[in-house]
Structures are given as structure tokens and as C-alpha cells.
Chains A and B, each alone.
Chain A
């Protein structure tokens, strides 16, 4: 997996204040990991998408959104640990 400067872990739905703050804070070398209710964002246009947008599969599947992941990356719990460990810093929104 690509080494990221900052991994932004977002577990808030698009209506949440921190959702907007998070998307504004994402820099060019950063990645976004959607977890819990954050996965609801896959049904919207995201500033960060494709190779730098990761979606936690169990949370996505639980919400019936598996078919809407688009070009974003499905990740397992193990992948999530690897992503967090390999990023220079982590922000949990």
C-alpha cells in the first residue's frame, strides 16, 4: 500500500460538522479511511477518491452499500491496521 503522510479516519456521516472539517483538512499526500457511519459518504462525490480513499468493508457491507463503492478501495480490519501503522500520522475525526 502507498505510504501516506496523514491517514484521516472518518466515522461521521456527511451531515456531521466534522465531516466537512475532515474533507477540508485532507492534503495532497493524505488518505481517507471511511469507517462506521462515515461509509455513507460513498454515495456522494468525494474530494478524495480512488486510490487514496479506503472504505472499511464490514461497515460498508453492513449498510448494504457494497455495490456503491465505485473506484474506492475496500479494506479489511487487518488492512486498516496496516494503513494506520504505515502512515506518518493519523487523525481520528
Chain B
């Protein structure tokens, strides 16, 4: 059974995104196929050069770097949201693929769950 977890909330403003990340990592740790997608303001998770020391949080950029180690299948970024937030493919980490959020994409998963 495959799962797609979608984060559509910006980082640092709330805990829902981190909880979704924990859920994805837990699934992957137990060998359940899982992918993560970033939509809407959620694409800001993917920005490089984040420094969250002064807001006393660990940077989500560093959290996300662990995704391939846990065995998360794919990290996906919504094309239109990237455009909206001025992110080009070269701005994104190497292991992130840009795609469109549509029925073709959601149809590839048994379960799709939004964060929060």
C-alpha cells in the first residue's frame, strides 16, 4: 500500500508539517512505500540556506535531508507553487522532483493525506 503525504503549510509557523514529516519517516522506517509532496506555501520547506537558530528550531532543510536515509521514495514539489514562490528547479535540493498536483499524481497512491 503506497502513501503520499502532502505538506501545504509553510515551515516554522506551525507544527503540522513536522508531524507529517515524522509520519512519513515512520512509514518509511517500517518499509511502507511513502512519498512526500510540497504544495502551496509548503514549497518553502525546500528552500536552501535556511538558518533557524535564532527562532530556536532545527532547520527543516536538515530534517528533510534525512528523507533518503529513512527510505522515503520521492520528494516532490508542485510546479505552480514553486513558480508562485520564486523557486526554480536549480534552487531545489538535488533529490527533489518538480511535478504537477493533479488526479494523475494522486491516482498513483492508495492513500493521500494532507498535513494538519
Residues of A within 8 A of B (CB): 6, 17-18, 25, 27, 88-93
Contacts and interface: CB of A to CB of B under 8 A. Distances in A.
Interface of B: 8, 40, 103, 106-107, 109-114
B103 A18 contact: no
Nearest to A88: B110
12 contacts: A6-B107, A17-B8, A18-B8, A18-B114, A25-B106, A89-B107, A89-B110, A90-B110, A90-B111, A92-B111, A92-B112, A92-B114
A27 B107 CA distance: 11
By DSSP majority rule, is chain A's interface helix, strand, loop, or mixed? mixed
Contact of A17 (B40, B103, B106, B110): B40
Contact of B103 (A27, A90, A92, A93): A27
A63 B111 CA distance: 28
